[in-house]
Structure 1
Amino acid sequence: MRAVISAGAVFFAAVSLAQAGTMATGEQISAAISGNTVQGSMIASGAYTEFYGADGAIRGKGYSGKWRVNGDTMCFQYGQDPEACWQVRLDGDQVTWVKGGKDDGAGAIVKGNPNNF
């Protein structure tokens, strides 16, 4: 009986990890992000809080940009910088930005625009 429980626990853990590692589709990204704010941190640039308008506008404290879903990635463009895209992993209100197969940042999705950006 103990071997059966242990095997079941291992199987459940493996399934949970596989689901946690599943990348979001473009439709899932839009549904989770559009019209909401994400507060988090990127490895390269540090902390951020941004509102992602349904019109494709990004608004943060003292800056703005554009966002769009391209296939199953979310793309960002700020000022004259070139557009950059990330895969997205969603887990409830948590988002992880994935670039080149590695986690590049993470954040929490907050409903609406509570910072009035």
Structure 2
Amino acid sequence: MPIKTSPAPPTARILPTLWLATTLAALAFAATATAAEGERLSGDEIQQQVWGHRVQGAMASGQQYDEVYRQDGKIEGDGYTGQATIVDDRMCFDYGDGQPTCYGVRQDGDEGIEWLDGDEVVGEGELSNAE
């Protein structure tokens, strides 16, 4: 004699689907929420987010720095100046020796940035008001 089964109630079929949809939505939101953080900045974004600010930090070599990057690209440090330019989505620094050094820039949180040589982090800094 065959066993008689009744179809699953509608809620039993809907709950797993609802759970899956909710989980996928939460994962998509988490990925979107963190996408801005840790992204490499384009040249325009570097100019908008870094120029016109003071950056204090350190390079991987241990060298500390505290520089203001003016809107016109002028660099002002303690007792020295330089000129910044944007080349191929990198910020280039020329301190008068004719040998500019260029770094990619990645956002690190709300006020932090990382200086990149390729994909390697070679420095970090905190953005603040220029004055």
Q: State the TM bucket, normalised to the shorter chain.
A: 0.7 to 0.9
Q: 5+ unaligned residues in a row in structure 2: which ranges? A: 1-20
Post-superposition Cα deviations, 1:32-68, rounded to whole Å, max 9, x if no partner, equal: 1111110000112511000011121101001111101
Q: Partner residue of 2:96?
A: 79
**Whole-Å separation in 1 of the counterparts to 2:85 and 2:24:** 43
Deviation at 1:13, TM superposition (A): 6.6
**Whole-Å separation in 1 of the counterparts to 2:76 and 2:36:** 31
Q: Partner residue of 2:118?
A: 100
Residue identity in the other structure for 1:88: V
Identity %: 33
Deviation at 1:7, TM superposition (A): 8.4
Q: Partner residue of 1:57?
A: 74
1:40 aligns with 2:52: no
Please state whether the residue corresponding to 1:31 is helix, strand or coil: helix
Residue identity in the other structure for 2:100: E
Larger RCO: Structure 1 or Structure 2 (Cα < 8 Å, ≥ 6 residues apart)?
Answer: 1
Residue identity in the other structure for 2:56: Q
**Whole-Å separation in 2 of the counterparts to 1:18 and 1:32:** 16
**Whole-Å separation in 2 of the counterparts to 1:95 and 1:29:** 10
Q: TM-score, normalised by structure 2?
A: 0.70
Q: TM-score, normalised by structure 1?
A: 0.78
Query: Which has the larger Rg?
Result: 2
Q: 5+ unaligned residues in a row in structure 1: which ranges? A: none
Greater strand proportion: 1
Post-superposition Cα deviations, 1:79-116, rounded to whole Å, max 9, x if no partner, equal: 21501111100131111001121000001001123xxx
Residue identity in the other structure for 2:126: A
